[in-house]
Structure 1
């Protein structure tokens, strides 16, 4: 049986095709420009079942639903649980915790039975703390560099002149050891530094409190490389596979 796993986020759609637990192919595409034509062109044409975790808006979810109806494929959609095995959700209302954060924690718990902090660096940067006994202690959510840039370009007129909204939303946020010599570079470099130093400070605090660190998400690899930390590709997809009990090899 072939399974298509999809993690539909605010910035990217991440997917993985598995056959009896073996990864056959994988990929990602920007969510902002998602279209029915793109789904047909970029996602696998043939599979038996789909497993979906989504935090995207109604429009993007509806687009994916239309694609599935056309393909006549059953969809197994995941929601956040109060617990999974020995992992206990800290939220009083578990459904209010983003399913991507939950599934990343599920996957992290399978990788380590020690206290761990899961840092997901996407549109927002999230920190979730899991004790060694599996109890989730809660977390933090801070804006990622792109959200900071978008806020500045949206709400500050002179920066809008230098970097229109249409460009700011899709720009690759760059880092530099030197200050920017244009307004948009100053914003881009500055927001990256704010995100990096915020992540660095919270990670240092977590390490001092005895937590191991796992980074994931679209910007996670860059930050992991800069800080010398472990990056796990597709942690949310790993969580989907774990909860769905898909065959492993």
Structure 2
């Protein structure tokens, strides 16, 4: 025939009748290959894929009523051409984020099909942490690409807050082809972010100096001032923050990212 790719055949015979089902594949006018299709003994049904339909001259289905003394019986069948398009995806980033800071979540999209396609890639969540932009990418057969989707809990988001994240890739060629992954993000302490604005900068140095030497006001999140991750907040943490900002630029060793 003129169709290309595989074809899915579904057969459903009357349950009270015994059936036999055959596929007759012809490569030429008088050259045939007969294949018996096993049926479910209870439902008298079957699903079978006919691969590479275009490689055959003709393909015929033959249904035989084997009930010797039964009357006429009915059956139904359908033919479906599967979409040649496909997509799969996975989230590569862990679940940790900082309040007030943006983290780029790596979302890998793969085209497992045999044809190239363009995909619309986007994300969302119920808390408004995920940017709503859509990125379109072209993938050749078998190709993968990583799309980075920014996730930003607002400044002031309490530690331990969680938001479920949805990342999705839609085929532009077939609206029924998509893949969605669900993960979550949870806010954790960023050591060094003393004022909890999402960034580690001079304002945090000023806040730590004030805490240690000026007004001695307690830190909202004491662990944020524990830059060296040892004991309580003290001068060693101040030294570590100065090194981070101005000397060796090495961040706190206990920050997860």
Higher relative contact order (CA 8 A, sep 6+): 1
Alignment TM-score > 0.5, same fold = no
Which TM class, normalised by the smaller chain length? under 0.3
More strand by share: 2
> Highest CA radius of gyration, 1 or 2?
2
More helix by share: 1
